[in-house]
Amino acid sequence: MFSIQQGYIHGASFIVALRDVEFLTWRLNEDTGDYWVKFHVPSGKEIRIKVDEDDLKYIVSVWTSEEMKLNIGDKYGLDK
């Protein structure tokens, strides 16, 4: 569970300013259909959360400050 408020994303055990996130990566859990999202910060640390596809798209759109049309995965099934 997470929340995004006033430029910060936080959950039960973390909080980070979205402006401090250098890049995001994610990986599909084929068994559950959820995604593990990593927020990479300058210290070299990562914050990981598990989300569904809609939450992943929401996080990316808030982080980039624009509505993005993401094609999650690969059309050839390489990420699946």
Residue 27 domain flag: yes
Whether pLDDT at 77 is above 80: no
What pLDDT, on the 0 to 100 scale, is given for residue 65?
Answer: 85
Residue 11 domain flag: no
pLDDT in tens, 17-76: 999 999 999 999 989 999 999 999 999 999 999 999 999 999 999 999 877 677 776 555
Domain count, the chain: 1
Residue 50 domain flag: yes
Cα–Cα distance for residue pair 1/11, rounded to 1 Å:
6
Position with higher pLDDT, 1 vs 40: 40
Strands 15-17 and 8-10: antiparallel
What pLDDT, on the 0 to 100 scale, is given for residue 14?
Answer: 92
Residue 8 domain flag: no
Domain that holds residue 49: 21-75
Cβ contact 80:28 at 8 Å: yes
Residue 12 domain flag: no
Residue 56 domain flag: yes
Residue 6 domain flag: no
Residue 69 domain flag: yes
